[in-house]
Amino acid sequence: MDNFPNKYGIIPACDVTGLKELVNLVKATRSLEFILAYKIGVKMIAQEGARKVVREIRRLTNLPIIYDHQKYGTDIPDLSGGEILESFKDAGIDGLIIFPFAGIKTLQATVEGCRRANLISIVGGEMTHPGFLVSEGGYIADDSPEKIYRDAAHLGVDTFVVPGTKIEKIKEYTKVIGDLVPNPRLMFPGIGKGQGGDIAEAFKAALPYSCSAIVGRGLYAAEDIGAAAIGLWKSASSVL
């Protein structure tokens, strides 16, 4: 269920401090043809409420709104896959990012619940920061992300989050997903200012599939947001 207007593009992460900054970010980017959606996070929802945040975005654009709960999918199946998903949809949210670290039953329940609520399920398995996997000193088994992607694909998910800071991992997971899903979309956070992911290399690693860079500080912290977005897209376009 790919509801995005183009095969390739950028998704601004609206991790800003208030509604004024949110409006400035959307106004500066909404007319750019490579902007595919807007991602809102738990900080904005906690401060302002989902309906108010969505209403401000909807005054300016009809592009999809993705909610990143940071990280949804870490509770029991009944809660993760329950009525809260209908609440997200009722608030005007179009898609939900899920990192199902609570296990397969939570993944199944959440994907099924998103389907009932007509939300786009966007499943991630590996995060962008170091120290995440067991081999890096972390807590998540090294083979768990691939298992998450495989299980999600078998459940009919076609939109995935892969780590934009780890180019070899993008290639690896793109191959796994592409072997199971006819026309997947890959999204990659961690691009640019902050975590330092290279947008051109990330797109190259995810080709030939539909793919989108999720960019936060590289846009909203820029002096000229529109110019920053155009510069990033110019870099990405060099490999497309």
Q: Would residue 137 be called left, alpha or beta, if left means φ above 0 and alpha means ψ between -120 and 50 degrees?
A: left
What is the band of 1 on the pLDDT scale with cuts at 50, 70, 90? Answer: low
Order the strands of the 8-12 sheet from edge to edge.
8-12, 210-215, 185-188, 159-161, 120-124, 95-98, 65-72, 38-41
Q: Please give the mean pLDDT across all residues of the chain.
A: 95
**CA distances (Å), origin 161, targets 17, 21, 181:** 24, 25, 14
Instruction: With a cut of 80, say whether residue 7 has pLDDT above it.
Output: yes
Note the pLDDT tens digit of each residue in 128-170. 999 999 999 999 999 999 999 999 999 999 999 999 999 999 9
> What would the DSSP string read from start to end of 151-212?
HHHHTT--EEE--TT-HHHHHHHHHHHHHH-SS-EEEE--BSTTT-B-HHHHHHHHTTSEEE
Could you tell me the CATH superfamily of domain 8-237? Aldolase class I (3.20.20.70)
Note the pLDDT tens digit of each residue in 48-98. 999 999 999 999 999 999 999 989 999 999 999 999 999 999 999 999 999
Which token pair is 115?
Answer: 């389907």
Handedness of CA 169, 145, 12, 240 (dihedral sign): positive
**Amino acid identity at 130:** P
Instruction: With a cut of 70, say whether residue 219 has pLDDT above it.
Output: yes
Pick the more confident residue, 2 or 89: 89
Between vectors from CA 37 to CA 53 and to CA 178, what angle results, nearest 5°? 135
Percent of the chain with pLDDT strictly greater than 90: 93
What is the band of 195 on the pLDDT scale with cuts at 50, 70, 90? Answer: confident
What is the band of 196 on the pLDDT scale with cuts at 50, 70, 90? Answer: confident
What is the band of 224 on the pLDDT scale with cuts at 50, 70, 90? Answer: very high
What is the band of 187 on the pLDDT scale with cuts at 50, 70, 90? Answer: very high
List, as own/partner pairs, every contact residues 84-89 make where C-beta atoms lie below 8 angstroms and the sequence separation is at least 24, other chains included: 85/110, 85/113, 85/114, 85/116, 85/117, 85/119, 86/116, 86/117, 87/50, 88/50, 88/117, 88/119, 89/117, 89/118, 89/119
Scan for tokens 């999204």, then name that residue: 187
